[in-house]
Structure formats: C-alpha cells, structure tokens
C-alpha cells in the first residue's frame, strides 16, 4: 500500500443537533505538505480535524486518505495520529511508556516496543528523559513527548490541534521551528489547526482560511497575504485596510469609485455593475503618508492620526479615514524617523492603484 | 517575633486541644490500662503482661489448630476481605457510571445525592430494616414461596454470613464510591481520547489508564471500609444473630464484664493490626497525591 498521506475531503458537513458547524466543504491536501487550517473560533477547523482523525462522526460527505474511504474506520484504524491541545500525556506513565503506549495496545512485546519508543525519543531529542514523568517536564518537553507518541505508529498524516497555544511566545517560536523541521525531515502530511494567522503563514505550505463552516481561501501563504480572495480573509490575515465605496465609471480597464465624502479611488479592474458598493483592500505597508494637501487625486485621501505605536523595526500608525473603519499604516523605523508623525495631525494617505486588491 | 509566634500557637491550639482530649489522651489511657491487672470486682493499677499473655494463650502450642484469638481475627478478616472486594467492584462501577456515562453535571449531582439518601437515617435502623425483608416470614421468603420457587423458607437469608456481608456492603459502598469518584474527576476526558486514538479498546483503557489513575481513590476507600469492618460488632452481632464472632465483640463483652484491662489489651492489638493493614496499603499507593 502506498502511504503518501494525501487527504481528500469531499462535500464534508458536520451538524451538532440543529447547529451546522461545517457546510459541505471540499478540500484536497497533497501528500507530504504542511497544511494549516486557520480561522476564528467556531469556524469549523477543529471539527474538520477531529473528523479526519475519526474522533467525530461525519454527518455528511466523505473523507479519503490515500484513496481509501475513512468514514467507517475508528481512529486507530486510520493512517492518522493526533496530537492533542493539552498533550494528554498519561501522568502515571514515564516518557518511554507514554511513547510506547499505542504499541502496547497492539500487543507488542516489551523489549521491542521499548526499542521503538527509544528511537522515537531520539528523533525528538528527548532520549535523556526516558524515566521522567510528564509532570516533571516543561511545556516544550511535554510537546515533544506528545509528538513522539503520535509518531510511533508511523502514520501518513499527523493531526495537530492547536499545539502551540499553551506555550509562551518565545517557546512558541522555537517549537514552531522544530515542527517545521520535523515535517520536512519526515516528509509526512501535517494538518495543523490554529487560530493564529501568523503561525499559519510561518509554518504552512498550504493555508486554508475558514469562517463559519466554510472555506474562504486555499493557497500558499504569499498568495493569501497578497491576494486575499475575500474581505474576510483580508481582515483575518491582518495587515490590510478594507475600504468600501461606490463604483461610478469605467475607463481603460480601470474603475473610478466615489467614497461618501470627497474621496475618489481607482481600481485596476473594470466593474460591470456601476452604482454597486465595492469593497477593496490596500496593504498597510503599501500606503504612503505625506503632509496635508488642499486637493486630493485618485487614491489620495485626508486622514487624522489617532495613535502611533512603536514596534521596534516598524511603527504602526492608526488613522481615521472616511471610507474605511480604521486605517492602519506601517512605516519602517527609518521612514518614520525621516518624517515623524504626531497624534492629532492631519495627513495625506496615498497609494499606487496596482496595490489595490479587489475581491 | 514573639508576638507572631504566640498568635500562631493560639491559632493552632483549638485543633490541638481537640486532638489531645479526644484522641491522644484516650489512646494513652487505653495503652496504660492494658497493662493493669484486675480481679473479679476491681481494677488494679499495675504493670503486667497478663492481659496480652491471656490473649495469645496457647496460640502457638495449639497450632495447627487455631486458638480463639486467631479464629476470631480470621473470621473478622474474612468478612473484611469479602466485603472489601464487593464494595470495590460495586463502588467502582457506580463511580465509573457517574463520572463517564452521565453527561450533564446536574444529573451527576442528583444521582450522587440519591446515593447519600440512606445516610439520612441512623446506621442502626438502616441495618435492622433488613430483618423484616430477609426473615423466615419476611418479604423475600414470602415472595419466593408464592411464586413456587421454593417449598420452605430459606434459612440462610438472615442471621448468617450472607446477611452480615449484605448489610456491610449496603452500609459502606458509598465510602468506596466517593473517593473513587473523586479520583476519576481528575482524569481528563482528553486522556481517554488519547488512549482511544492510540488504539486502546474500552477494556484496555480501563485497565491501562483509568484504574492506575484511580489507585489513590481506591486506597482511601479501602482504608475506610477495612477500618470500619475490623472494629465492628453491632452489624456482625445483629445481622449474625449474635452467633458470629468478631474482634469488636470480644472487646465489647469484656467491657460488659468490667474487665477493662483485657478489653484495652484487645483494643491495642486490634489497633496494631489495622495500622499494619493501612501501612501496607499506603506503601502500595501514594495517597498524598489526592490530598
């Protein structure tokens, strides 16, 4: 049997009583890829993961791994292994026995399963902790043991349920690197659920942005960041400013939009339904700030500085603008120091029409 | 500072006073009296090993026949072990059901309270209420006679080993349920899921995850049940029709005859035996995890 770890979700739905958690989603996760399911609470990402694992019953649709239908198989019969959010290490067993647990359940003899468990502990660099108990380990160490325990059954797909949420920020970044390194070394399919878009962008080969039981976008991280498919993705990923205004006229494959006040915007595409409300976004780092003007051209607007936040290598400036809820502009430290900005200042924000993203 | 030391002592003193008056002093008194002598009508303060000697009289010589003391201890221990096993199995099952099968906390609390309702009446009434049930003319016998299952009333239902064990299990299973339930509460559901994910069947999960994690609760429950039964004489007496011996009964009888030094000596021996059992239990299981 060819274990490559390709996951296909076909028309997958999940209902809890009358509540629809997942609405007919279709997704193909190629083998050997690091896939992140990301979205706010209640978007259905955890339900999806647990259904792939076999811990939740599928309400409708099919789950296919390596061309085999998984719907009627229990978690142990699937080529998957799950790493739980709180690690769920057995407190009464030492590290070796924890890792060897699934082998013991299969009836493997002690010597053999201890040997296999040891090799897995070596893989996660915990070979010195064989006799220790989970309550004697730090958070990061516990995670490595949980990882080893999941990997001991040699799965094709590793499922991780918010594995980094319980760690402090510095440890989170370090463990992130370890997970990525491990995935590349093992060439195993990882499906990682997280609510942090930063984590997803850093780790994933494929990002799946979910919202309210539906998939908003499936793409590589740069595409998700530069070409968000929907307003939700733009808002969720962060670093984007959302504008809404009315389409007025088309010329040369560009569309002019009129805002509520005096502002006018230029979209680099033609809009057929003139008069409709158009939503577009501009990245925070693609907006330029310049002194206040009297007359404003296309993609130039007046704003009021609300706050200035120093973030080290860059500065975050929050402004009030007419057709956006909030305008966030990020300036590099050098740019900011060249033209320092004060709170309460009136200022001009402008951007290139090619940096406008229309959904 | 002196003042804070005085305050600390004052804060601990109520408990210490209670401890001394109701535990330490009686214990010292009992041990002291166990070395006294006595005649038919008076206690004689003395230091003699007479009482201990009489308890173990001929115990070694009579072997392999058992002397009275050994026989009584064996009989009491027999009840102890049988009741311990029964309360453990029944108590564990009920605790398991309450913890893992009942989904809502409200139902859990309600069922738990239901288990404690019998304790709202006195222990003695709870025990003797078995008599009209199990007697020769009792409900059970009448029912079995009426449906024709038996021709004559069953004698062994009451005033027998059976009724004693039944009574003990009925009275003290709750003492097993509560500590075991407490232990089980500490078992996170995610642990069971992790076991399921690792391929453990229901039975494997029970043996490899749940029972090991319940060991402190089981130990505490066992200590409750064993200590109570070893010293009991009312239940064994009433439900056994005053025909069955128990260590508690020996002490009780000797007190009735005002042979306090002998009773005290028996009490000391009983205390030592029970302490030994508890010591062994705590060596097997670390109870401090629960406390």
Q: Which two tokens stand for residue A135?
A: 């309550």
Alpha-carbon gap: A13 to the closest alpha carbon of chain B (Å): 22
- Check if A142 contacts B (Cβ < 8 Å): no
- Check if B190 contacts A (Cβ < 8 Å): yes
Contacts of B204 in chain A (CB under 8 A): 105
CA A20-A21-A23 angle, to 5 degrees, is 75
B163-194 pLDDT tens trace: 999 999 999 999 999 999 999 999 998 999 99
B212-249 pLDDT tens trace: 999 999 999 999 999 999 988 888 988 888 888 889 99
CA B218 → CA A228, B169, B181, B207, B232, distances in Å?
A: 58, 16, 9, 14, 21
Contact B199 A76 (CB under 8 A): yes
CA A180-A185-A186 angle, to 5 degrees, is 100
Instruction: Identify which has the larger pLDDT, B287 or A129.
Output: A129
Q: What is the mean pLDDT of residues B75-100?
A: 93
Q: What is the mean pLDDT of residues A309-321?
A: 91
Contact A84 B190 (CB under 8 A): yes
Backbone angles phi and psi of B285, in degrees to 5: -125, 140
User: Could you identify the residue written with the tokens 């995890």?
Assistant: B289
Tally A–B CB contacts below 8 A.
55
C-beta separation of A126 from A95 below 8 A: yes
Contact A105 B190 (CB under 8 A): no
Q: How confident is the model at residue A183 (pLDDT cuts 50, 70, 90)?
A: very high
Domain ranges of chain B: 65-289
Contacts of B190 in chain A (CB under 8 A): 84-86, 88
Alpha-carbon gap: A76 to the closest alpha carbon of chain B (Å): 5
A91-105 pLDDT tens trace: 999 999 999 999 999
What per-residue confidence (pLDDT) applies to A150?
A: 92
CA A43-A50-A222 angle, to 5 degrees, is 55
Q: What is the mean pLDDT of residues A172-183?
A: 90
Percentage of chain B beyond pLDDT 90 is 46
A276-300 pLDDT tens trace: 888 989 999 899 888 888 888 888 8
What per-residue confidence (pLDDT) applies to A1?
A: 40
Q: The pTM is what? A: 0.81
Contact B198 A105 (CB under 8 A): yes
Q: Show Cβ contacts of residue A162 under 8 Å, excluding neighbours closer than 6 positions.
A: A46, A85, A193, A194, A195
What per-residue confidence (pLDDT) applies to B1?
A: 63
Q: What is the mean pLDDT of residues B22-46?
A: 89
CA distance B241 to A302: 100
Alpha-carbon gap: B187 to the closest alpha carbon of chain A (Å): 10
- The string of DSSP letters for B14-72 reads HHHHHHIIIIIHHHHHHHHHTT-EE-SS-EE-----HHHHHHTTTTTTSTTS--HHHHH
Q: Show Cβ contacts of residue A246 under 8 Å, excluding neighbours closer than 6 positions.
A: A257, A258, A259, A275, A276, A277, A278
Contact B199 A153 (CB under 8 A): yes
Domains and CATH numbers, chain A: 7-231 (3.40.50.300), 239-358 (2.40.50.100)
Query: Which residue from A minimizes the CA distance to B188?
Result: A88
Q: Choose which CATH entry (3.40.50.720, 1.10.3720.10, 3.10.20.70, 2.60.40.420) describes domain B65-289.
A: 1.10.3720.10
User: Could you identify the residue written with the tokens 């064993």?
Assistant: B226
Contact B193 A81 (CB under 8 A): no
C-beta separation of B195 from A101 below 8 A: yes
Contacts of B201 in chain A (CB under 8 A): 105
What per-residue confidence (pLDDT) applies to A18?
A: 85
CA distance A31 to A2: 11
HSE-CB for A260 with a 13 A CA cutoff: 7
Nearest-by-Cβ selection for B191 from A74, A88, A102: A88
């Amino acid at each position: 049997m060819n274990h490559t770890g390709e996951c296909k979700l076909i028309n997958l739905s999940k209902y809890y009583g009358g509540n629809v958690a997942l609405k007919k989603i279709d997704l193909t996760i190629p083998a050997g890829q690091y896939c992140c399911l990301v979205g706010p609470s209640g978007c259905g990402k955890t339900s999806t993961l647990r259904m792939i694992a076999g811990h939740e019953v599928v309400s409708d649709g099919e789950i296919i791994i390596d061309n085999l239908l998984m719907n009627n198989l229990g978690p142990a019969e699937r080529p998957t292994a799950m790493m739980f959010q709180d690690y769920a290490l057995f407190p009464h067993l030492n590290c070796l026995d924890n890792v060897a647990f699934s082998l013991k359940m299969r009836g493997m003899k002690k010597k053999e399963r201890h040997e296999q468990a040891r090799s897995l502990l070596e893989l996660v660099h915990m070979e010195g902790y064989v006799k220790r108990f989970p309550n004697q380990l730090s958070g990061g160490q516990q995670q490595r043991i949980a990882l080893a325990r999941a990997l001991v059954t040699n799965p094709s797909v590793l499922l991780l349920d918010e594995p980094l949420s319980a760690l402090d920020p510095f440890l989170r970044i370090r463990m992130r690197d370890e997970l990525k390194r491990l995935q590349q070394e093992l060439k195993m399919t990882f499906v990682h659920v997280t609510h942090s878009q930063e984590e997803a962008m850093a780790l994933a080969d494929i990002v799946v942005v979910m919202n309210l039981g539906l998939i908003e976008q499936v793409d590589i991280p740069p595409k998700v960041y530069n070409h968000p498919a929907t307003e939700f993705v733009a808002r969720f990923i962060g670093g984007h400013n959302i504008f809404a205004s009315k389409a007025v006229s088309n010329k040369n494959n560009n569309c002019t939009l009129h805002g509520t006040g005096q502002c006018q915007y230029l979209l680099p595409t033609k809009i057929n339904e003139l008069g409709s409300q158009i939503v577009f976004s501009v990245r925070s780092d693609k907006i330029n700030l310049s002194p206040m003007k009297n007359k404003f051209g296309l993609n130039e607007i007046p704003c009021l500085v609300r706050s200035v936040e120093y973030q080290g290598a860059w500065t975050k400036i929050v402004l009030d603008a007419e057709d956006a809820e909030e305008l966030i502009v990020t300036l590099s430290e050098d740019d900011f120091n060249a033209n320092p900005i004060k709170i309460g200042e009136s200022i001009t924000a402008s951007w290139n029409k090619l940096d406008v993203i229309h959904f | 500072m002196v003042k804070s030391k005085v305050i600390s002592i004052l804060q601990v003193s109520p408990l210490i006073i209670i401890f001394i008056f109701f535990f330490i002093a009686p214990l010292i008194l009992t041990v002291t009296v166990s070395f006294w002598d006595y005649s038919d009508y008076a206690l004689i303060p003395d230091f003699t090993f007479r009482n201990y000697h009489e308890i173990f009289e001929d115990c070694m010589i009579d072997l392999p026949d058992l002397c009275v003391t050994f026989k009584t201890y064996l009989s009491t221990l027999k009840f102890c072990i049988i009741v311990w096993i029964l309360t453990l199995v029944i108590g564990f099952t009920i605790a398991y059901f309450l913890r893992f099968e009942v989904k809502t906390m409200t139902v859990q609390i309600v069922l738990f309270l239901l288990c404690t309702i019998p304790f709202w009446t006195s222990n003695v009434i709870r025990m003797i209420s078995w008599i009209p049930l199990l007697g020769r003319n009792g409900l059970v016998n009448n029912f079995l006679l009426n449906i024709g299952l038996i021709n004559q009333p069953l004698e062994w239902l009451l005033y027998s080993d059976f009724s004693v064990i039944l009574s003990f299990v009925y009275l003290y299973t709750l003492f097993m349920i509560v500590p075991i339930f407490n232990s089980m509460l500490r078992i996170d559901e995610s642990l069971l899921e992790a076991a399921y994910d690792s391929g453990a069947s229901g039975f494997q999960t029970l043996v490899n995850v749940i029972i090991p994690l319940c060991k402190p609760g089981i130990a505490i429950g066992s200590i409750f049940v064993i200590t109570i039964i070893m010293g009991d004489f009312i239940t064994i007496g009433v439900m056994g029709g005053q025909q069955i011996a128990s260590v508690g009964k020996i002490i009780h009888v000797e007190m009735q005859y005002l042979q306090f030094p002998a009773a005290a000596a028996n009490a000391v021996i009983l205390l030592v035996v029970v302490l030994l059992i508890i010591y062994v239990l705590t060596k097997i299981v670390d109870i401090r995890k629960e406390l």
